[in-house]
Amino acid sequence: MANDVVLTSALRSNLLSLQNTQRSIDATQLRLATGLKVNSALDNPQNFFAAQSLDNRASDLTRLLDGIGQSISAIKAADQGIESLTKLIEQADSLATSALEATSSASQSASTVGDVDVEDLTITAANAGTLVFSFTNQNGEQPTALQAANVTGETVTIAASDTIEDIINNINSIRDGNNEKIVTASLTDAGRLQISTLNGTNARLELTSTGTATLGGSQTLAGLLGFSAQFIPEAQLGSAVSASTSVSLNLEASATVKSQALYDTNDTSTVADRSSLLTDLLRDVNGDGTIGDVAFALALSDVDTASFNIAINGASATAIAVTANSTIQSLIDDINDDVTLKSRIEATFDDTSGQIIFAAKDGSVESIQFSVTATEVGGDSGGTARIQANFGFGSGGNLDSTTVANSSTESSDTENIYFGEGGGDIAQAQSDFNKVREQIDALVRDAGYRGVNLLNGDNLVTTFNEDRSNQLTTEGGDFTSTGLGINEAAFATRSAIEDSLDQVRAALLTARNFGSSIANDLAIIQTRQDFTENTINNLEEGRDKLVVADQNEEGANLLALQTRQQLGVTSLSLASQSQQAVLRLF
């Protein structure tokens, strides 16, 4: 063509060589800049797509690695929670054990009633008699030390001219086969006789008059010592006392005050239940299954009133109103709802033993006094009002308001029972136990991690591969106090404390087993984390082998290409010199 520039073949060859060299330089510079020898499918389709597959899997595993790390953190949070939870459970175990030990050393005491001061007492022939103690352990069996000594009971003779000091010394001289005291007597600050059991021993005390005193006249032995005629069956009032006539007191090794076993007249084959009417109750007087005396009686007209009265530490009594429709449960509810009593004592009913139980809520409660009151409102058709309560709280005594009339109110003698010496310790242990129980629930609530709480029933799923075909499920559990089976403490009886102790120890075993379980899962997840990290490194290494450039090789290539480019330029210059010679002719 006329416009074409005519170049020699040498020039064209040099130009093509320079262009190829420049393209190679550009490619080498790209490899050096990116660090990759395969930057696109155009460079090496096979290596590019193989590397991309390896890179995709490595990316997927990297994302899974983040989830694995979060699973490890969640399990560590649960492990820290279970460690702290175990400490709280062990603390609850210690408190229940302390309460149990307190019951073993506690003694429920019976003191004299009314305002009898026996400090200057001297026995006469008319009211002489005997005190007979019989002893059992918590299971109703004779203590081993007494069996070894072949002691079935202990009799203390009260003779004419004996002083209160003599009586106290004689009681305190009672020993078991190990020469240990099992019962103690002392005078209170008010000059009243107080008798207590020791070392977890139960006792039954019978006061028998052998003198000529009559119940309705001169004081019997029981009356003289302050255990008044309220403990004598009403049919014997005013009659002569024979050697077989006795007054019974039950002294239980307990930091609670318990009634005798109660039965319902409608079904005497089993103990009463909470719905039994008070007026239907009978009691097991001797604790041997023989159902005898009426436990509660009420004689009221429509407008007459009656109350069962409770006083703490000898303070003013609180009246709990009772009617013909009152049940065991309603009596307990009224006591526990009373604003004065509910902060000091707690009333419960043992469905197994059929006993009404009073427990102190703090160590300041030393004694509890029971009495009854009836009020007759004049003008009604009945004309009389009467209430009798014979529950047997520590004694076989009958609290009787006697018959009252003409708008008057009559109160009975007071039954005065001292809580066991360990009552304050047990009450404090119960309060502390329930506080620990609350903290168990609070700790469980706070043991979650990013919405997963293994201690509150959540499960944790950890995925180990990209298609989610390999997973590990870490199962959680309910470690609240309810889930662990730790009920609110009510240390009213030794068996109740033992139940709490069993619950706590079962919970401790559950917590420790769970700790071992999540520790095993944690070890598995950590192993898989290490494996995944190594797999990712292996995939990235394989990818690099396919696409990553050798910087040393590419640098040498660039240097060689630059040299080739310079030589090409020189060659091009030589090839154009002939044409320059023609130019010089002009």
pLDDT in tens, 247-300: 556 565 566 777 878 999 888 888 999 999 999 998 876 555 667 778 888 888
For residue 149, the model assigns a pLDDT of 46
Whether 274 and 230 share a structural domain: no
Angle at which helix 9-34 crosses helix 551-575, to 10 degrees, equals: 160
| Angle formed at CA 163 by CA 157 and CA 167, multiple of 5 degrees | 40
Start-to-end CA distance of the chain, whole Å, equals 26
For residue 380, the model assigns a pLDDT of 52
For residue 289, the model assigns a pLDDT of 63
In which band, very low, low, confident or very high, does the pLDDT at 492 lie, cut at 50, 70 and 90?
low
Please say which residue of 420, 435, 463 terminates a domain: 420
DSSP per residue, 177-217: TTS-B-EEEEE-TTS-EEEEE-TT-EEEEEEEE-SS-BTTS
Report if residue 501 sits inside a domain.
yes
Report if residue 22 sits inside a domain.
no
Report if residue 211 sits inside a domain.
yes
Whether 100 and 117 share a structural domain: no
Report if residue 1 sits inside a domain.
no
| For the chain, counts of helices (H) and of strands (E) | 11, 24
Report if residue 427 sits inside a domain.
yes
Number of domains in the chain: 3
Q: Which residue has the higher pLDDT, 34 or 499?
A: 499
Report if residue 581 sits inside a domain.
no
Whether 180 and 204 share a structural domain: yes
pLDDT in tens, 420-443: 556 667 777 888 898 999 999 999
At residue 127, φ and ψ (nearest 5 deg) are: -120, 25
The answer on pLDDT for 42 being more than 80 is no
Q: Which residue has the higher pLDDT, 230 or 438?
A: 438
Please say which residue of 253, 287, 305 terminates a domain: 253
| Angle formed at CA 434 by CA 430 and CA 438, multiple of 5 degrees | 170
For residue 111, the model assigns a pLDDT of 47
Distances (CA, A) of 498 to 9, 98, 410: 112, 11, 42
pLDDT in tens, 69-80: 899 999 999 999
Report if residue 88 sits inside a domain.
yes
CATH number of the domain within which 460 lies: 1.20.1330.10
In which band, very low, low, confident or very high, does the pLDDT at 3 lie, cut at 50, 70 and 90?
low
Amino acid occupying residue 469 = S
Please say which residue of 367, 402, 420 terminates a domain: 420
> Quick one: what percent of the chain has pLDDT higher than 90?
21
Whether 135 and 199 share a structural domain: yes
Mean pLDDT score, 216-224: 63
Whether 359 and 243 share a structural domain: no
Residue-range definition of the domain harbouring residue 498: 28-106+422-576
Contact indicator for 217, 236 with CB cutoff of 8 Å: no
| Angle formed at CA 522 by CA 520 and CA 528, multiple of 5 degrees | 110
Contact indicator for 296, 389 with CB cutoff of 8 Å: yes
Distance between CA 462 and CA 526 in Å, rounded? 11
Q: Which residue has the higher pLDDT, 485 or 50?
A: 485
For residue 309, the model assigns a pLDDT of 92
The answer on pLDDT for 320 being more than 90 is yes
Report if residue 582 sits inside a domain.
no
User: Which residue is associated with the tokens 């020469």?
Assistant: 179
Q: Which residue has the higher pLDDT, 380 or 312?
A: 312
Mean pLDDT score, 327-350: 92
Mean pLDDT score, 187-200: 71
Whether 246 and 260 share a structural domain: no
Whether 229 and 323 share a structural domain: no
Whether 331 and 460 share a structural domain: no
Tokens of 72: 């490890």
Whether 179 and 262 share a structural domain: no
Q: Which residue has the higher pLDDT, 191 or 92?
A: 92
For residue 509, the model assigns a pLDDT of 94
Whether pTM exceeds 0.85: no
- Residues with Cβ within 8 Å of residue 146, at least 6 apart in sequence: 135, 152, 176, 177, 182
Whether 262 and 227 share a structural domain: no
Whether 273 and 329 share a structural domain: yes
Which secondary structure element, helix H or strand E, spans residue 291, and what is its range? strand 291-294
In which band, very low, low, confident or very high, does the pLDDT at 381 lie, cut at 50, 70 and 90?
low
The answer on pLDDT for 229 being more than 50 is no
For residue 148, the model assigns a pLDDT of 47
Mean pLDDT score, 472-497: 86
DSSP per residue, 144-162: HHHHHTT-S-EEEEE-TT-
pLDDT in tens, 500-513: 999 999 999 999 99
Whether 391 and 300 share a structural domain: yes
